[in-house]
C-alpha cells in the first residue's frame, strides 16, 4: 500500500511537509508531526529515531545554572498525538518506549502535599506556590496507554504496560501491567511460563 493510498492527497502533502520540517529542525529523529511546542530545547535530548504525533508539548524548565539534559529520550521512542512532557529536574525515557495519545508526564507540582513541614498553603494561589519535583524514570520497552498520567518521583520498570486512564503515583516494577487511579498492579509476566499471570 502506498503513502497516497494510506493518507490521501492532502494527507500525503501534510506528511511530506512534516518530513521536511523534521529533517530541518530535529535532525536525528524519525518524524515529528506539526504543530509541535518545544520549550528549553537545549535541555532536551530527543534520542535517535524519535517520532511524535501532532500536538507534542515538551518543556524543560532550565536556567543559566542548569547542566546537562533535563529530559532524556532513548532510541526508537514513539509518541502519539497531544502528549505533554514537562521537567524541572529529570525525566528519563528508555529505548523503544511507546506512548499513546494525551499522555501527561511531569516531574513537578505547584506546591508540596506529601507531608512534612514544607506543605503548601491552600490560601496561596496555585501558580504562586513554590515548585516541588522528583525525578521520573521510564525504563526500556514500556507501553503507556491512552490518557495516562505519570507523576513526580515514579519509576516504571522495563517491559511494563500502563493501561489507559491510569494515574501512576508510585513505582511499577518491571514486567507488570498496572491500571487505575492510582495505579495498581493486576498482572505480572512469568518468565518461566512465558505468561501474564494475575497478580
How does residue 153 score in pLDDT terms, banded at 50, 70 and 90?
very high
Domain that holds residue 3: 1-31
Instruction: Count the alpha carbons within 13 Å of 99 in the hemisphere toward its beta carbon.
Output: 33
Does one domain contain both 85 and 162? yes
Q: Specify the range with the lowest mean pLDDT, choosing from 40-44, 97-101, 110-114, 142-146.
A: 110-114
pTM of the model: 0.92
Does one domain contain both 15 and 39? no
Residue bearing cell 515514579:
154
Does one domain contain both 40 and 136? yes
Does one domain contain both 23 and 43? no
Average pLDDT of the chain to the nearest whole number = 94
pLDDT tens for 158-184 read 999 999 999 999 999 999 999 999 999
DSSP-derived secondary structure letter, 172 = B
Residue 176's pLDDT is 98
pLDDT tens for 48-71 read 999 999 999 999 998 877 889 999
Does one domain contain both 123 and 162? yes
Residue bearing cell 502533502:
13
Q: Is the pLDDT of residue 3 over 70?
A: no
Does one domain contain both 23 and 42? no
**Alpha helices in 31-163, H assignment, sequence order:** none
Does one domain contain both 117 and 21? no
Does one domain contain both 123 and 57? yes
- The grid coordinates listed for 53 are 504525533
Does one domain contain both 145 and 184? yes
Residue 24's H or E segment, with its range, is helix 3-25
- The grid coordinates listed for 34 are 506539526
* CA distances (Å), origin 185, targets 86, 105, 144, 170, 190: 25, 19, 14, 11, 14
- Strand blocks (E) in 4-140: 31-32, 36-39, 44-45, 51-52, 56-60, 71-73, 78-79, 84-87, 91-93, 98-99, 104-106, 108-110, 131-133, 136-138
What CATH number is associated with residue 96? Answer: 2.160.10.10
Count of domains forming the chain: 2
Percent of the chain with pLDDT over 90: 83
Does one domain contain both 60 and 137? yes
**Rounded Cα gap, residues 55 and 68, in angstroms:** 26
**Could you tell me which of 92, 169, 89 has the C-alpha nearest to residue 132?**
89
pLDDT tens for 82-102 read 999 999 999 999 999 999 999
- The grid coordinates listed for 37 are 511546542
**Counting beta carbons within 10 angstroms of the beta carbon of residue 64, is it exposed (0 to 12), middle (13 to 18) or buried (19 or more)?**
exposed
Does one domain contain both 86 and 10? no
Does one domain contain both 26 and 47? no
How does residue 124 score in pLDDT terms, banded at 50, 70 and 90?
very high
Amino acid at each position: 500500500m502506498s503513502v497516497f493510498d494510506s493518507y490521501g492527497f492532502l494527507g500525503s502533502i501534510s506528511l511530506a511537509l512534516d518530513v521536511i520540517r523534521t529533517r530541518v529542525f530535529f535532525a536525528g529523529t524519525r518524524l515529528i508531526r506539526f504543530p509541535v511546542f518545544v520549550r528549553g530545547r537545549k535541555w532536551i535530548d530527543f534520542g535517535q529515531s524519535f517520532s511524535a504525533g501532532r500536538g507534542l508539548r515538551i518543556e524543560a524548565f532550565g536556567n543559566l545554572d542548569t547542566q546537562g539534559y533535563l529530559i532524556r529520550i532513548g532510541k526508537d521512542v514513539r509518541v502519539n498525538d497531544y502528549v505533554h512532557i514537562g521537567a524541572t529536574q529529570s525525566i528519563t525515557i528508555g529505548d523503544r518506549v511507546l506512548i499513546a495519545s494525551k499522555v501527561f508526564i511531569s516531574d513537578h507540582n505547584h506546591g508540596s502535599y506529601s507531608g512534612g513541614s514544607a506543605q503548601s498553603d491552600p490560601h496561596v494561589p496555585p501558580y504562586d506556590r513554590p515548585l516541588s519535583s522528583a525525578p521520573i524514570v521510564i525504563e526500556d520497552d514500556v507501553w503507556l496507554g491512552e490518557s495516562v498520567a505519570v507523576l513526580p518521583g515514579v519509576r516504571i520498570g522495563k517491559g511494563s504496560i500502563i493501561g489507559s486512564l491510569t494515574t501512576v503515583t508510585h513505582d511499577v516494577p518491571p514486567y507488570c501491567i498496572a491500571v487505575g487511579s492510582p495505579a495498581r498492579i493486576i498482572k505480572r509476566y512469568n518468565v518461566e511460563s512465558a505468561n501474564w499471570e494475575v497478580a
